[in-house]
Amino acid sequence: MSTEPSVRVERRPTVVIAITGASGALYATRTLAALLADGVDVELVISDYGRRLLRDELGATATVDHLLPYLTERYGLRGDLGRITLHSNRDLGATIASGSRSCKAMAIVPCSMKTLAGVAHGLSRNLVERAADVMLKEGRRLVIVPRETPMSLPQLKNMVLCAEAGAMVLPAMPAFYQSPKTLDDLADFMAGKILSALGFEHALYPEWTGRVSGP
Ligand SMILES: Cc1cc2nc3c(=O)[nH]c(=O)nc-3n(C[C@H](O)[C@H](O)[C@H](O)COP(=O)(O)O)c2cc1C
């Protein structure tokens, strides 16, 4: 047995972000940009329909290959940013497929009803589902941001199953009491909620200070 003192490697906080094919790409990019700006390292996995969503909703410059330059320019990122490690959704041997890779938390944003079903039933058919399963089995924070309307009974039940398994279900439901003026204001609100749920402080929306008008 070695008598050398063990060396502790100080790592920056790491979170897993998964982007799947539900509407709301802006929620994902705002969340990613806020984490990177906070110096958080991100393990990123994007489903095939998540890739399509980025292109369809944000345009040709928001492809996976150009995501960091896109985020840097769109959100004016500067300074000591966190790093992105991109994983293939087909790679079930990726680091984040194992509980031994200690990630603080994971968010699936946005989360399609298909991926929601896969997580609810522990299917682990791809890396998004497997990484989510790892979070649940390790008792770590998993934030699911589903988007669909209206919702079927199986979809509602799948959200209950995820909540019962320990996930936080945080539906993509921006609020209007902060008087949003732009789509970015709405995305800021959702990203702020997601950062709070992941355990990070943020200034993406002002704290509610009380009533603005009487009852
Ligand atoms: C433009 C577009 C928008 C979509 N929006 C949603 C949505 O809001 N919610 C949803 O559950 N599925 C939505 N879908 C369907 C999913 O993308 C589809 O079920 C896909 O198989 C999900 O796979 P994934 O979870 O691996 O990304 C959308 C598909 C397209 C092409």
Domain extent, residue 184, equals 14-198
> Of ligand 1's atoms, which has the minimum distance to the CA of residue 23?
8
Residue 109 lies in a domain: yes
> Of ligand 1's atoms, which has the minimum distance to the CA of residue 57?
1
Residue 36 lies in a domain: yes
Choose which residue among 114, 124, 144 to substitute to test ligand 1 binding: the one with the highest number of ligand atoms within 8 A of its C-beta: 114
pLDDT tens, residue by residue, 80-110:
999 999 999 999 999 999 999 889 999 999 9
Calpha distance 18→20 (Å, rounded):
6
Looking at the structure of the chain, the number of domains it has is 1
Residue 179 lies in a domain: yes
Residue 6 lies in a domain: no
Residue 5 lies in a domain: no
pLDDT tens, residue by residue, 110-133:
999 999 999 999 999 999 999 999
> Of ligand 1's atoms, which has the minimum distance to the CA of residue 24?
8
Residues with CB under 6 A from ligand 1: 20-23, 47, 49-50, 52, 56, 112-115, 147-148
* pLDDT for res 136: 98
* pLDDT for res 178: 84
Calpha distance 144→156 (Å, rounded):
13
**Contact of 162 with 120, CB cutoff 8 Å:** yes
Does residue 215 have a pLDDT over 90? no
Residue 7 lies in a domain: no
Residue 208 lies in a domain: no
Calpha distance 188→193 (Å, rounded):
9
Choose which residue among 112, 130, 158 to substitute to test ligand 1 binding: the one with the highest number of ligand atoms within 8 A of its C-beta: 112
Beta strands at 84-87 and 168-169: parallel, antiparallel or unpaired: unpaired
Give the pLDDT band (50/70/90) at residue 2: very low
Assign residue 53 the CATH number of its domain: 3.40.50.1950
- 86-106 in b/e form (b: 16+ CB < 10 A) is ebebeeeebebbeeeeebbbb
Residue 3 lies in a domain: no
pLDDT tens, residue by residue, 182-202:
999 999 999 999 999 999 999
